[in-house]
């Protein structure tokens, strides 16, 4: 949701939701249901840091994070783009 808010121009909401989301994800094991949760938390924190250091426009090389699927087991549904 944080990146959704960022896409809509709500920088303050994006920072708040990235923080809240990372804290919630930290309660999960590093890999859960095929998702690399540790990497997702790292990326959320990286986005927070980058966003906090750019008060105006974001750089063109903004680090939009991919969702990494790992291991076996139940896989989340990811729609084709």
Taking the model in full, what pTM does it have?
0.67
Note whether 28 and 39 are within 8 A (CB): no
Question: Dihedrals φ, ψ of 10, to 5°?
Answer: -95, 80
Are 38 and 27 contacting, i.e. CB atoms less than 8 angstroms apart? Answer: no
Question: Quick one: pLDDT at residue 28?
Answer: 94
pLDDT given at position 81: 47
Decide if 33 is inside a domain.
Answer: yes
Average pLDDT across each block of 10 residues of the chain; the chain has 81 residues. List them in order. Answer: 77 89 94 88 87 71 67 58 47
Q: Say if 29 falls within a structural domain.
A: yes
Residue 16 included in any domain: yes
Does residue 80 lie within any of the structural domains?
Answer: no
Domain, as residue range, for 38 = 2-52
Q: Is residue 81 part of a domain?
A: no
């Amino acid at each position: 949701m944080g990146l959704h808010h960022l896409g809509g121009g709500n920088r303050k909401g994006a920072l708040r939701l990235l923080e809240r989301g990372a804290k919630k994800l930290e309660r999960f094991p590093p890999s859960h249901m095929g998702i690399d949760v540790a990497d997702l938390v790292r990326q959320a924190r990286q986005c927070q840091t980058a966003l906090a250091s750019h008060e105006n426009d974001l750089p063109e090389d903004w680090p939009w994070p991919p969702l990494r699927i790992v291991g076996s087991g139940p896989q989340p549904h990811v729609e084709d783009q």
